[in-house]
Chains A and B, each alone.
Chain A
Amino acid sequence: MNAKMAWALVAATLMVSCTEDAEEEQGVCTEGPRVLALGSKWTESGGSSSLDLVGCGKVQAYEPSRGMPAHSDLALDLAGGNTYLIDRQGGAVTGFLGSDLSKPFLDVNVGGDANPYAVAKLADHLWVARYGSTHLLGIPFSGAKADSIDLSSYADTSTRIPRMMGVEVWNGKLVVALQRLDKSWSAVDSSVVLVVDPATKKVETRIALPFRNPEGVDLRGNLLALACLGGYGEKPDAGLVVVDLSKGVVSTAVSGVELGGDPSRVAFVSDDRVWAALLVVKHPNYKAVPVDLASKKVGSPFAEAGSVGDLAFDGGSLWVANHDDASPRVYRVDPTSGAKTGEYTARLAPGRLLVLP
């Protein structure tokens, strides 16, 4: 795969200079906070996906010039100031310069079954967390041969696949979150966070999480928050975790019982306060709630969104994606009061949000 990938990378790198015919970013909102909402709708033929730009008080279709994949299994990420559209089903990662979706500069397949989840830029590499692979993949922007770091020894022994679901850059290192599900897709062992030095490919720190099956991560300074779904169904292995990377320890742990649901997404709004999306099985729905990390006190949920798919914080406002076909909306919320300050109807139910630079 590496030889083919190297050729692909060469071609992908060349594409940086081949974007003259790409559409210019015309008529697209460029002022104020801008949030990209990845919408999806599942159908028998796989599904539909959309990208909407929420900004300037309106919603605009804002998509790559060659369209969206004809399915819904996608993700969004930001790395090094560039926007990445991640095709989890197809195993492709497409990078766009800045937030201009008319200027692709990287387009590479990281493995048909690799299931890429997230990306992080460190030095001249784009590191890809691949859920279906044993290796963290490093793609050099130079077009050189791809690099990788073997994390299989951190997997559950029944699979040897660590189920890496997130990667972040911290202090010149890579921080990787591993679900460590077993062969039966059950969170039977502890999930972990690894701090990896890409230069030596060594794991410097291994932090076991008190809860299992992280589904959402957010990095703020030295703090890494993880929303752990556990084994689904309000079981005691779900909860919210904050890791202090500078000390290599879990600084805060709030169980799903204390939260009133299993957290699936999390977003910092300050050093001591997060918003989390909670799966409440009894209803069932996903609601967004504020959580004070020091007191572990859970505030009132944001009532209007009953199927919260994602949360994002732009430095001033909290953005809430309501992943509901019948009510496909993105809400702008005051993170302190929880009051709605804006509401936008997306084309398809938004499941991922990305605050653009």
Chain B
Amino acid sequence: MFRIVPSMLLIVPALALAQVDSVDRPMDSVAAPREAHLEQRVVRAVSERSGVGSIGREELAGAPSLAAVLDHQSGVQVRRAGGLGSYTTASLHASPAQQVEVWMDGVPLGGSTGSKVDLGPFPLEGLERVEIRQAGSTGAFGSPRIDLVSRSGWTQRGASLRLASYGERGVSGWWGDDEGRATVSAWWESARNDYPFPWDNGTRYNTADDRQVRLSNNDYEGRGAALSWRPTESVDVSARVDDSRRGISAPGWVDPAARLEGTSAQGFLRWVGDWDWKPSVEGSGKWDASVWRDPNRTAGWNVDRSADETAWDLAARVAVARDRGDWADVEVAGKTRWETSDRQSTGNAAVAVTPSGNRRTLGLQGIWNGRSASSRWGAQVGASTDWIVDSRDWAESLGDVSRIEPLETPWESHRVHGRLWGRPAGSLETWISASVRQRAPDFREWMGDNGFTLQTPDLSSELSISREIGLKILVDGWTGEAAGWFQTYRDPIEAYQKGASPLVAHRNAAGYEAFGIDARLGWEKDPFRAAAQGTLQDAAVSDGNPSLDGKRPVRFPAWKASVDASAGPWRGWRAGTGLALEGATYASELNRATDLRDGKVDMGAWIRWSRGAVSATVQADNLFDEHAEDWEDLPQPGRRYSVRLDFEFSKPTKTREER
């Protein structure tokens, strides 16, 4: 089966290229009407912003987890530690996961220069949309970025219920006023997660003791609520509360008592003036409190028995932009941000450390965005600089943290970006972009967090260079997009396990270069829909150690692909299937033949019946019952069945977009 996929990956972009001149259709019409959301799982809603992938509500509703949704996307590499709610990170175009910024409703979830965000505890029931922006598409201001948008029910109201394997349960509801000015949603989900998987008992030669084991203490519960309000055309307000609780355990690291619990609340306000030079003001605030408990097991490090953290993150941005669609469009912005973390950690009974730290950031951004009168081609050049001051009251030595007089460290981060695009035909868009980014260590990278991450005060800035060239086409019934990318990472900041403990610290690692091709292809002809996407990629580490130099990074597949197809509705019935594949990876940086681990095969199928406002879905995922590993010795759950009931009542008065 694996041999088929590379061929398919070659065919997909070829098909796309073959359709270039068939129909001269304006690209803007690609923006999917509301009805098209119903089958976004099979018809990728190719955003009008080339290189930006958008995943809608329908696809989210049909996936087991956010990790699974992202794992289907080309150019995205997901690593997860287990079942629903477990620790999950994403990498875009082979970037370090730390560089991927994750935003929720316009509020950054990571640190000020981007840091790894655990994507595990985000219930899909609480999300309306997920957008993926690769480095070549983020403009002057951004990094590789994942935007999460809270569940909303503009002019709609409804509820959903689901039951699934491994004790999974979920319920959600949403409501929107008739005028489409306000929407409220709430969700709750939980899972036991104690899934079984085959285990060799750690003995590679002795197969007599191979057996099934079952994880324990991996229960998960997530809940939250979101509010969006648009009192006037120029003001947006949103608020969201999240809460997650989970047990932590793994084969070889069984701890029936380890818990990680967190609560966060955030708010966002934006005002945009409707003048020729559009002024805008944004402000956001986020508060986090988390608790880590591991009373029965410590590894001798001074933070691994318990830790409590309170963190604040306040940000503001003021901008003015000219947007007339000619060669003189510019945007200038200033921003500021204040992040804090106060923690009390206890390891040895007699030792309780209370590290505190904060970061103050002041940034300036400027971008020129020109386009021809015909909008056939255009260019974008931008630059941004952040001036950062870190402050901490602790020092670290051999894993011990001691209190010191407040110490301040200044940093600067810079990014320049250029992008040239053209639309030689209405159905074809091409672009080429490049960016260079010097990134200071993120607040969370040197400060650590409340889960497993220790402080690392001695990091250096890293440098990233991104280049991307791509094309997008739309031909009657077909959409296609392909992009080639080439990334260079120097002194990338990476997380690593601290000795034999479960704790993680950061370091500047050996650099690497990566390149690849992403391709997406969608086809639709009622009542059938199909979509395929894939990535071919490679990477080589530049390490002073000759045994590691030139090797492929750990858990880095050379290819991945997914195909989804569906049919319907027919008398209220619809059905679909999906297949996601991923190539083998190395479990060690030495890339030995014995380090090769099997790739992934994930096939699913669903059938749905709808009548009026009610629909019922029966779904199966991972039909081949694979237990792929993303992390060392952490097999994923096997086959999963789910049943879902949705009730949705629309009031098709004025849509939010029409207003």
The stretch from B221-229, B494-502, B575-583, B617-625 touching chain A is: B494-502
User: Is the C-beta of A33 less than 8 angstroms from some C-beta in chain B?
Assistant: no
User: Is the C-beta of A197 less than 8 angstroms from some C-beta in chain B?
Assistant: no
- The distance in angstroms between the C-alpha atoms of A15 and B209, with both chains bound, is 13
Q: A90-B202, A185-B300 are in contact. List 18 more A-B contacts (CB 8 A).
A: A10-B208, A42-B498, A44-B494, A44-B495, A45-B555, A48-B595, A50-B590, A64-B204, A70-B632, A71-B632, A90-B633, A94-B203, A94-B204, A185-B298, A186-B349, A233-B400, A284-B398, A348-B547
- The distance in angstroms between the C-alpha atoms of A112 and B297, with both chains bound, is 14
Contact A232 B398 (CB under 8 A): yes
- The distance in angstroms between the C-alpha atoms of A107 and B208, with both chains bound, is 10
Contact B497 A47 (CB under 8 A): yes
User: Is the C-beta of B527 less than 8 angstroms from some C-beta in chain A?
Assistant: no
Residues facing B in A217-275 (CB within 8 A) are 232-233
The B contact surface, by secondary structure, is loop
User: Is the C-beta of B310 less than 8 angstroms from some C-beta in chain A?
Assistant: no
User: Is the C-beta of A89 less than 8 angstroms from some C-beta in chain B?
Assistant: yes
B119 to chain A, nearest CB (A): 15
User: Is the C-beta of B201 less than 8 angstroms from some C-beta in chain A?
Assistant: yes
User: Is the C-beta of B611 less than 8 angstroms from some C-beta in chain A?
Assistant: no
Contact B554 A15 (CB under 8 A): no
Interface size (B, Cβ < 8 Å)?
50
User: Is the C-beta of B615 less than 8 angstroms from some C-beta in chain A?
Assistant: no
User: Is the C-beta of A123 less than 8 angstroms from some C-beta in chain B?
Assistant: no
Contact B497 A46 (CB under 8 A): yes
Given A45-B631, A89-B252, A185-B300, check contact A66 B594 (CB 8 Å): yes
Contact A42 B496 (CB under 8 A): yes
User: Is the C-beta of B589 less than 8 angstroms from some C-beta in chain A?
Assistant: yes
- The distance in angstroms between the C-alpha atoms of A161 and B592, with both chains bound, is 38
A127 to chain B, nearest CB (A): 19
Contact A109 B589 (CB under 8 A): no
Contact A11 B206 (CB under 8 A): yes
- The distance in angstroms between the C-alpha atoms of A12 and B208, with both chains bound, is 8
User: Is the C-beta of B350 less than 8 angstroms from some C-beta in chain A?
Assistant: yes
B47 to chain A, nearest CB (A): 32
The 27 sampled A-B contact pairs (Cβ below 8 Å) are A11-B208, A15-B206, A43-B496, A43-B497, A44-B504, A45-B555, A47-B497, A64-B204, A67-B204, A68-B592, A68-B594, A69-B202, A87-B202, A89-B252, A89-B253, A90-B201, A107-B206, A113-B254, A185-B298, A186-B348, A232-B400, A233-B400, A281-B397, A284-B398, A325-B545, A346-B547, A348-B590
Contact B254 A112 (CB under 8 A): yes
Contact A73 B500 (CB under 8 A): yes
Residues facing A in B582-602 (CB within 8 A) are 587-590, 592-595, 597
Residue of A at shortest CB range from B593? A67
Residues facing A in B385-436 (CB within 8 A) are 397-398, 400
B252 to chain A, nearest CB (A): 5
Residue of B at shortest CB range from A92? B202
Contact B209 A11 (CB under 8 A): yes
1/0 contact trace for A63-85 toward B, CB 8 Å?
A: 11111111111000000000000
Q: Which residues in A have their C-beta under 8 angstroms from that of B500?
A: 72-73, 88-89
- The distance in angstroms between the C-alpha atoms of A250 and B371, with both chains bound, is 85
- The distance in angstroms between the C-alpha atoms of A4 and B254, with both chains bound, is 19
Contact B209 A109 (CB under 8 A): yes
CB contacts between A and B, total, < 8 Å: 151
Q: Counting chain B CB atoms within 10 Å of each CB, which of A46, A67, A89 scores highest?
A: A46
- The distance in angstroms between the C-alpha atoms of A42 and B497, with both chains bound, is 6
1/0 contact trace for A167-204 toward B, CB 8 Å?
A: 00000000000000001111000000000000000000
User: Is the C-beta of A345 less than 8 angstroms from some C-beta in chain B?
Assistant: yes
- The distance in angstroms between the C-alpha atoms of A108 and B548, with both chains bound, is 31
User: Is the C-beta of B570 less than 8 angstroms from some C-beta in chain A?
Assistant: no
Q: Which residues in A have their C-beta under 8 angstroms from that of B632?
A: 45-47, 70-71
User: Is the C-beta of A104 less than 8 angstroms from some C-beta in chain B?
Assistant: yes
Contact B633 A107 (CB under 8 A): no
**List of 8 A-B pairs having minimum Cβ-Cβ separation, nearest first:** A67-B594, A11-B208, A90-B202, A46-B632, A92-B202, A347-B547, A107-B206, A48-B588
- The distance in angstroms between the C-alpha atoms of A341 and B253, with both chains bound, is 42
Residues of A within 8 A of B (CB): 4, 7-8, 10-12, 15, 41-50, 63-73, 87-92, 94, 104, 107-109, 112-113, 183-186, 232-233, 281, 284, 325-326, 328, 345-348
Given A48-B590, A112-B254, A186-B348, check contact A43 B554 (CB 8 Å): yes
B458 to chain A, nearest CB (A): 13
Q: Which residues in A have their C-beta under 8 angstroms from that of B202?
A: 69, 87, 90-92, 109, 112
A263 to chain B, nearest CB (A): 16
Q: Which residues in B have their C-beta under 8 angstroms from that of A45?
A: 497, 554-555, 587, 631-632
- The distance in angstroms between the C-alpha atoms of A12 and B203, with both chains bound, is 10
CB-contact partner of B205 in A68, A70, A107, under 8 A: A107
Given A42-B498, A44-B496, check contact A12 B206 (CB 8 Å): yes
Q: Which residues in A have their C-beta under 8 angstroms from that of B207?
A: 11
Q: Which residues in A have their C-beta under 8 angstroms from that of B496?
A: 42-44
Contact B546 A46 (CB under 8 A): no
- The distance in angstroms between the C-alpha atoms of A72 and B500, with both chains bound, is 8
- The distance in angstroms between the C-alpha atoms of A184 and B498, with both chains bound, is 19
A350 to chain B, nearest CB (A): 12
- The distance in angstroms between the C-alpha atoms of A87 and B632, with both chains bound, is 14
Q: Which residues in A have their C-beta under 8 angstroms from that of B612?
A: none
User: Is the C-beta of B477 less than 8 angstroms from some C-beta in chain A?
Assistant: no
1/0 contact trace for B538-556 toward A, CB 8 Å?
A: 0000001111100000110
- The distance in angstroms between the C-alpha atoms of A109 and B202, with both chains bound, is 7
Contact B633 A70 (CB under 8 A): yes
CB-contact partner of B594 in A42, A63, A184, A325, under 8 A: A63
- The distance in angstroms between the C-alpha atoms of A49 and B590, with both chains bound, is 9
Q: Which residues in A have their C-beta under 8 angstroms from that of B347?
A: 184-185
- The distance in angstroms between the C-alpha atoms of A118 and B298, with both chains bound, is 22
Contact B348 A107 (CB under 8 A): no
Residues facing A in B344-374 (CB within 8 A) are 347-351
Q: Which residues in A have their C-beta under 8 angstroms from that of B555?
A: 45
Contact A70 B587 (CB under 8 A): yes
Q: Which residues in A have their C-beta under 8 angstroms from that of B504?
A: 44
User: Is the C-beta of B196 less than 8 angstroms from some C-beta in chain A?
Assistant: no
Q: Which residues in A have their C-beta under 8 angstroms from that of B251?
A: 112
1/0 contact trace for B171-206 toward A, CB 8 Å?
A: 000000000000000000000000000000111111
Q: Which residues in B have their C-beta under 8 angstroms from that of A65?
A: 594
- The distance in angstroms between the C-alpha atoms of A232 and B348, with both chains bound, is 13
Contact A108 B206 (CB under 8 A): yes
Q: Which residues in A have their C-beta under 8 angstroms from that of B201?
A: 8, 90, 92, 109
Q: Which residues in A have their C-beta under 8 angstroms from that of B208?
A: 7-8, 10-12
Given A8-B209, A46-B633, A108-B206, check contact A328 B545 (CB 8 Å): yes
B355 to chain A, nearest CB (A): 19
Given A7-B208, A46-B633, check contact A184 B203 (CB 8 Å): no
- The distance in angstroms between the C-alpha atoms of A87 and B500, with both chains bound, is 12
Contact A184 B588 (CB under 8 A): no
Residue of A at shortest CB range from B201? A109
Q: Which residues in A have their C-beta under 8 angstroms from that of B298?
A: 184-185
Contact B595 A70 (CB under 8 A): yes
B345 to chain A, nearest CB (A): 14
Residue of A at shortest CB range from B97? A44
Q: Which residues in B have their C-beta under 8 angstroms from that of A325?
A: 545
Contact A184 B547 (CB under 8 A): no
Residue of B at shortest CB range from A328? B545
Residue of B at shortest CB range from A110? B202
Q: Counting chain B CB atoms within 10 Å of each CB, which of A8, A44, A112, A326 scores highest?
A: A44
Q: Which residues in B have their C-beta under 8 angstroms from that of A73?
A: 500
Q: Which residues in A have their C-beta under 8 angstroms from that of B350?
A: 184, 186
Q: Counting chain B CB atoms within 10 Å of each CB, which of A50, A64, A92, A348 scores highest?
A: A92
Contact A66 B545 (CB under 8 A): no
Q: Which residues in B have their C-beta under 8 angstroms from that of A41?
A: 589
B196 to chain A, nearest CB (A): 15
Q: Which residues in A have their C-beta under 8 angstroms from that of B495?
A: 44
Residue of A at shortest CB range from B297? A113
